[in-house]
Structure 1
Amino acid sequence: MRQPFEYALIRLVPRIERGEQINVGVLLYCQQRDFLAARTHLDADRVRALAPDVDLPAVAAVLDSLDRTCSGDGPATRMRLGERFHWLVAPRSTMIQAGPVHTGLTADPAAELDRLMAALVR
């Protein structure tokens, strides 16, 4: 049976003032399946084409922290999955930002996350 889910793209905005962005990941939350996960992919060549001075290891560390937050590492342990998702997609004025939240239906949230990564990020 298909269940509703929410997802948001994770974007790297190397120069906030220019507004250029690169999709670097997807967050997906499915309440009925108790599923929250992030998948990320940092294409260093694409980033360097927009902003050669970006600190790629720092960006990679932030992207890794998204996965750890989804898993409940650190302070996120005290948060429910939905709280984690909504905290992660809250607007920020940093280089790593979540896009708008979209919805859909899926029978397999993990497969849906992989599909979204292939279609929207890689």
Structure 2
Amino acid sequence: MTVGPQPYQYVVLRCVPRVDREEFLNVGVVLYCQAADYLNAVWSVDRDRLVSLDARIDVDQVCEALAFVDRVCAGDERAGEAARQPIGTRFGFLKAPRSTVVQPGPVHGGVTDDPARQLEHLLERLVG
């Protein structure tokens, strides 16, 4: 049985080295598809581009923040209480605005037959 296109939501993860300057670099995407019970993140950090925004940025800290997002998506207990929540609640946690160096952008949506493939497409298109 073919299910057909399912709605999904996604947020782009932005690295904001200096909040006061409001400059950011897209570094990842989180995609949630309720119908497919799918929540995942992919990311790619361009160290040179981040350092060009702020020479003092700790790129390893940015990567660790993105690895935390991975753990929340996977329900990994190392991510604490957020990872123990139902999948929709985990997406809600990840899309919530925050003032840390890695911030989610606005929520967008679409439809897809393959959430994993769509997530890779969004990474290529929005992060590079």
Normalising by the smaller structure, the TM-score range is: over 0.9
C-alpha contact (below 8 Å) 2:34/2:88 kept by paired residues: yes
Q: SS of 2:21's equivalent?
A: coil
Residue 86 (1) aligns with residue 92 (2): yes
2:27 maps to 24
Residue 43 (1) aligns with residue 46 (2): yes
C-alpha contact (below 8 Å) 2:30/2:39 kept by paired residues: yes
TM-score by length of 2: 0.93
| Aligned counterparts of 1:77 and 1:26: Cα–Cα separation in 2 | 18
Gaps of 5+ in 2: none
TM-score by length of 1: 0.97
| Aligned counterparts of 1:13 and 1:78: Cα–Cα separation in 2 | 27
Root mean square deviation of aligned Cα: 0.8
Kindly tell me the number of residue pairs found equivalent between the two proteins.
Answer: 122
| Aligned counterparts of 2:83 and 2:15: Cα–Cα separation in 1 | 26
Bigger mean CA offset, 76-85 vs 14-23: 76-85
2:61 maps to 58
Cα offset for 1:118?
0.3
| Aligned counterparts of 2:101 and 2:14: Cα–Cα separation in 1 | 8
1:106 maps to 112
| Aligned counterparts of 2:66 and 2:16: Cα–Cα separation in 1 | 13
Cα offset for 1:94?
1.2
Question: Which consecutive aligned stretches of 4+ in structure 1 deviate over 4 angstroms post-superposition?
Answer: none
Gaps of 5+ in 1: none
Residue 116 (1) aligns with residue 119 (2): no
| Aligned counterparts of 1:41 and 1:26: Cα–Cα separation in 2 | 9
What's the CA shift string for 1:81-121, capped at 9, x where partnerless?
11000101101011110000001000000000000000000
